[in-house]
Amino acid sequence: MGSIHGIIAPIVTPMFEDESINEGELRRQVDRMITAGIHGIFAFGTNGEGYILSAEEKEFVLSVAIDQTKGRVPVYAGTGCIGTMDTIALSRRAEALGADYLSIITPSFAAASQDELFEHYAAIAGAVNTPIVLYNIPARTGNALAASTVRRLSEVEGIVGIKDSSGNFDNMLQYIEAVGGEDFAVLSGNDSLILWNLLAGGAGGIAGCANVFPENMVAIYESFASGDIEAAKRSQENIRSFRDCFQYGNPNTIVKVAVALLGHPVGPCRKPFGRISPQGLEAVRNALVESATAGIR
């Protein structure tokens, strides 16, 4: 399985018009990501609409992703639920299906203390054998993992990393300073910060933009790893015009619309989250044309 590193794709969940899951297209997207050199597949993360899939659908998506990946890269499963008991149950199911890592988002809606968050994750780690990557995205969940809590959790057997989607580089830097290194991976969940994560000692990123520009996102890491920082900077800067489109809607929606515009029948996001304004759609189209003209893929 190797260490956690590089660019992990939180793969979109393709759907038909009736919102059922399109297995054939999911398999094609897995192959598309791996062919582009992606370092991991993340099933039903935020960009995979894990927040709106049933437990049965999550199991189905994960089983398809694992089967199609065939061990070529690690497969991550987003098994976080609001409650500890439900998270353990889904994590055990993902473990049984063969996930390589569990990505566990913080509980949401109700405010949780740092001690409660610690106990939540420690209990899950004690209930499974699959390594766990913490997931901090306070804008979506309302609960943030403090660096001191992440340090405590890094000492719990089985907890091996964290994805930080706070968008606050200083927060991610505090994680890296507290626990980052060979034995604990700090990953950027904000695509604009991936290179800066690497330069600061982080491990890479879980990058929604990989669904749109997989080769370019892989190039950020591979250029960095080979010592070509200028090339890594160019690849990092290449996604600016597309990320500017996020002002027009939910980033998950923008990403899935873009993948569809590239010719992949992934369908819209599940309602009510799939709408995009005509102005937003035009902006995405223009960004994709601009990127294609520049050879960004």
Tens digits of residue pLDDT in 216-264: 999 999 999 999 999 999 999 999 999 999 999 999 999 999 999 999 9
Cα(184)–Cα(182) distance, integer angstroms: 6
- Biggest CA-to-CA distance, the chain: 51
Ordered DSSP codes for 1-22: -----EEEEE----B-TTS-B-
Cα(255)–Cα(274) distance, integer angstroms: 11
Within a domain: residue 115? yes
Within a domain: residue 123? yes
Q: What is the pLDDT of residue 1?
A: 45
What are the pLDDT digits (tens) for 176-207? 999 977 799 999 999 999 999 999 999 999 99
Cα(152)–Cα(58) distance, integer angstroms: 30
pTM recorded for the entire structure? 0.96
What does the block give as tokens for 13? Answer: 């969940």
Within a domain: residue 282? no
First to last CA, the chain: 27
Cα(254)–Cα(174) distance, integer angstroms: 30
What are the pLDDT digits (tens) for 62-110? 999 999 999 999 999 999 999 999 999 999 999 999 999 999 999 999 9
Number of folded domains in the chain?
Answer: 1
Within a domain: residue 270? no
Within a domain: residue 146? yes
Candidates 229, 257, 232, 230; CA nearest to 242 is 257
In CATH, what number is assigned to the domain containing residue 14?
3.20.20.70
Degrees, nearest 5: CA angle 3-239-217: 25
Place of tokens 């601009």: 290
Name the residue range of residue 11's domain. Answer: 6-228
pLDDT band at 19 (very low <50, low <70, confident <90, very high): very high
Q: What is the pLDDT of residue 2?
A: 57
Within a domain: residue 275? no
Which residues are tagged catalytic? Answer: 135, 163
Within a domain: residue 240? no
Q: What's the chain's length in residues?
A: 297
Within a domain: residue 97? yes
Q: What is the pLDDT of residue 182?
A: 77
Helix (H, G, I), strand (E, B) or coil at 77: strand
- Helix locations, 131-213, DSSP H: 138-141, 147-154, 169-179, 194-199
pLDDT band at 3 (very low <50, low <70, confident <90, very high): confident
